[in-house]
């Protein structure tokens, strides 16, 4: 670990901290329908949308109506994206003449982008046309992010309101989130990325001739007259061979901006943010990470404003921040130590640690920070290959998702995810002091706890059932895994954790473009998104109908460091201990094997 690397991490965190308040205030203004700087630009368009869709912005829904609207919208979105893919071969704006994806891959991709997962079992530049990328994938990046933000604001309304069954209007929340928050920020970010060298065009791919490289033809003379198997590579015949390379391009910058801001993560190019045309400079790399945390961090301040307790919002923010800082410095430490199996042949201090699978322009610190940020959120973007991380580094990015994507999390998803942990925390606090649990003056009752537990149980059950099924199926489960032993188990577990957590990042090493993985990972994404949102909205509706009781001496405060520590404990126990057995059999075992000198 170097001073420069530590400084990068701290500067990033300080900027996130500084932006949290203004972004949080703006989010609250948008969803409350208050006038903002962008109102003169977008208000007329917002009203046109309501008139065309016959939506009454003053009419609100109960939690069941909100849920039905969300599910109906998501079903239509999935079908629309599936059809675009299946008709890709006959649709325009396809300069490469790419054929349509197969049935199972189209299903997986449609589900992936609608659930804000953006898992990619395909190479973007070799599979999806420009039209599919823009009208299908990029559009869903906006819509799925907007839907997640809508659920988060509905949950916060449920906490803030009293004696009502209304938690907002899904269609209004969706329109306002996209129109006033996602679109303008993504537009400015796309322009900045173009200035950094990210491509944005509609040209067909270029084929360029490479510089002629000599091909070494060994002279089979004996080195010492005894070993005829050795060749003298110093005595060669130079044969030149001209080669060409295809340079993929397209409307990359526009999709890059929303893939980061909406914590989607689906790359236009197969190498994602490790590709020099998708992430060319350390500055573009820094902004991509900042966009990921921008809205989730802001939502914590919005929470405090709307519930009338800014201290509570900051308590949630610091719980997220402490988990983030612990994770990023652990990954950085693990990668900076390097690989002990190579220490005898490579002085890893010269290159800064384990550089396998990392881009030189980002280095170990930039790669460790990027991996932590994207797995703390529901953004599956990568600027390095997690499969090449040291076992402890790989374990941390895996655990980030296992905690339920509550360390800032996705746009909306992280907010409602950690609020479930808040409810469990105040319930446990109430049990410890022998009082009825209270959350901001509202009684936490059996229904709230049951829904919260349902939320927390769906996630690990989905992952462990599908992973166990795959591990016991050599013909279609194990057949897609290239590695054996603990590393192969990590690859398998990582895929289902990434899918159920709606993250979308890949550990690599797993051939997921098979009917089995396309289908089961698609189902895991659906369960991880919608079966977990339903109990969230049920809790919101139930809380909205309750009265507020004045605080007493026995009320547990939710706005200080004591609450932050309790919240951290609940997150770690609920998320961490559930998966400890599988972690001990995968990355932890691999770690001890490597440091014992055994190659995996």
Contacts of 472 (CB under 8 A, 6+ apart): none
Q: By mean pLDDT, which of 37-51, 55-69, 97-111, 201-215 is the weakest? A: 201-215
Q: What is the mean pLDDT of the chain?
A: 88
pLDDT at 344 over 60: no
Question: Which of 135-149, 213-227, 423-437, 504-518 has the highest mean predicted lDDT (pLDDT)?
Answer: 135-149
Domain residue extents for the chain: 3-204+249-595
Alpha-carbon span 189 to 256, nearest angstrom: 9
Q: By mean pLDDT, which of 233-242, 244-253, 404-413 is the weakest? A: 233-242
CB atoms under 10 Å from CB of 307, counted, come to 19
CA distances in angstroms from 440 to 90, 132, 153, 299, 364, listed in the order given? 56, 46, 17, 18, 43
Write out pLDDT tens, residues 80-137: 999 999 999 999 999 888 999 999 999 999 999 999 999 998 888 899 999 999 999 9
Alpha-carbon span 15 to 34, nearest angstrom: 26
Contacts of 113 (CB under 8 A, 6+ apart): 81, 136, 137, 140, 141, 144, 264, 266
Alpha-carbon span 438 to 549, nearest angstrom: 9
Q: What is the pLDDT of residue 224?
A: 41
Write out pLDDT tens, residues 254-264: 999 999 999 99
Over residues 401-417, the mean pLDDT reads 87
Give the DSSP per-residue string, 40-68: HHHHHHHHHHHHHHT--TT--B-HHHHHH
Q: Which two tokens stand for residue 349?
A: 């201090």
Alpha-carbon span 539 to 599, nearest angstrom: 49
Chain-centre distance of CA 552, in angstroms? 40
Contacts of 346 (CB under 8 A, 6+ apart): none
Alpha-carbon span 252 to 473, nearest angstrom: 38
Backbone dihedral region for residue 414 (phi beyond 0: left; psi -120 to 50: alpha; all else: beta): alpha
Alpha-carbon span 188 to 184, nearest angstrom: 6
* Furthest CA-CA distance within the chain: 95
Q: Is 519 exposed, middle or buried (0-12, 13-18, 19+ CB in 10 A)?
A: middle
């Amino acid at each position: 670990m170097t001073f420069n690397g530590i400084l990068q991490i701290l500067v990033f965190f300080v900027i996130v901290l500084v932006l949290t308040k203004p972004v949080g205030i703006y989010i609250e203004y948008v969803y409350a329908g208050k006038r903002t700087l962008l109102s003169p630009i977008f208000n007329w368009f917002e009203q046109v949308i309501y008139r065309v869709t016959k939506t009454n912005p003053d009419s609100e829904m109960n939690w069941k109506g909100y849920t039905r609207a969300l599910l109906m919208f998501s079903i239509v979105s999935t079908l629309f994206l599936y059809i675009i893919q299946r008709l890709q071969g006959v649709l325009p704006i396809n300069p490469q003449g790419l054929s349509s994806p197969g049935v199972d891959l189209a299903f997986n991709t449609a589900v992936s982008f609608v659930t804000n997962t953006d898992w990619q079992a395909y190479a973007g530049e070799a599979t999806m046309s420009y039209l599919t990328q823009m009208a299908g994938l990029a559009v869903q990046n906006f819509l799925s992010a907007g839907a997640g933000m809508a659920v988060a604001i509905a949950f916060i309304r449920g906490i803030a309101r009293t004696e009502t069954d209304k938690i907002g209007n899904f269609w209004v929340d969706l329109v306002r989130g996209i129109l006033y928050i996602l679109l303008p920020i993504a537009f400015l970010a796309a322009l900045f990325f173009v200035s950094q060298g990210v491509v944005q065009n509609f040209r067909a791919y270029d084929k360029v001739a490479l510089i002629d490289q000599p091909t070494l033809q060994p002279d089979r003379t004996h080195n010492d007259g005894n070993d005829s198997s050795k060749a003298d590579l110093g005595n060669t015949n130079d044969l030149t061979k001209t080669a060409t390379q295809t340079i993929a391009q397209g409307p990359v910058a526009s999709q890059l901006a929303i893939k980061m801001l909406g914590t989607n993560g689906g790359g236009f190019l197969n190498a994602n943010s490790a590709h020099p045309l998708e992430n060319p400079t350390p500055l573009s790399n820094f902004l991509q990470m900042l966009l990921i945390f921008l809205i989730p961090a802001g939502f914590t301040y919005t929470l405090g404003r709307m519930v009338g307790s800014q201290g509570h919002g900051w308590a949630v923010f610091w719980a997220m921040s402490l988990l983030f800082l612990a994770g990023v410095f652990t990954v950085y430490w693990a990668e900076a130590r390097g690989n002990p199996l190579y220490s005898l042949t490579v002085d890893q201090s010269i290159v800064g640690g384990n550089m396998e699978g990392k881009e030189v322009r980002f280095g170990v610190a930039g790669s460790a920070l990027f991996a932590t940020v994207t797995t703390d959120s529901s953004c599956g973007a990568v600027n390095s290959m997690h499969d090449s991380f040291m076992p402890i580094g790989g374990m941390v990015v895996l655990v980030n998702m296992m905690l339920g994507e509550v360390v800032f999390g996705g746009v909306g998803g992280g907010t409602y995810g950690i609020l479930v942990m808040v409810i469990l925390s105040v319930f446990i606090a109430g049990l410890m002091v022998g009082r009825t649990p209270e959350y901001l003056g509202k009684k936490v009752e059996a229904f709230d706890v049951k829904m919260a537990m349902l939320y927390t149980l769906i996630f690990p059950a989905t992952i462990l059932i599908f992973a166990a099924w795959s591990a016991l199926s050599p013909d279609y489960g194990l057949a897609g895994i290239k590695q054996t032993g603990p590393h192969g188990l990590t690859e398998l577990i990582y895929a289902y954790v990434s899918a159920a957590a709606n993250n979308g990042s890949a550990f690599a090493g797993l051939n997921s473009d098979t009917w089995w993985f396309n289908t089961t990972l698609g189902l895991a994404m659906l369960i991880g998104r919608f079966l977990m949102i339903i109990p969230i909205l049920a809790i919101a509706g139930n809380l909205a109908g309750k009265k507020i009781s004045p605080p007493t001496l026995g009320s547990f405060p939710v706005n200080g460091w004591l609450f932050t520590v309790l919240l951290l404990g609940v997150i770690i126990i609920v998320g961490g201990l559930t998966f400890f057995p599988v972690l001990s059999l995968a990355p932890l075992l691999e770690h001890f094997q490597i440091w014992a000198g055994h190659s995996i």
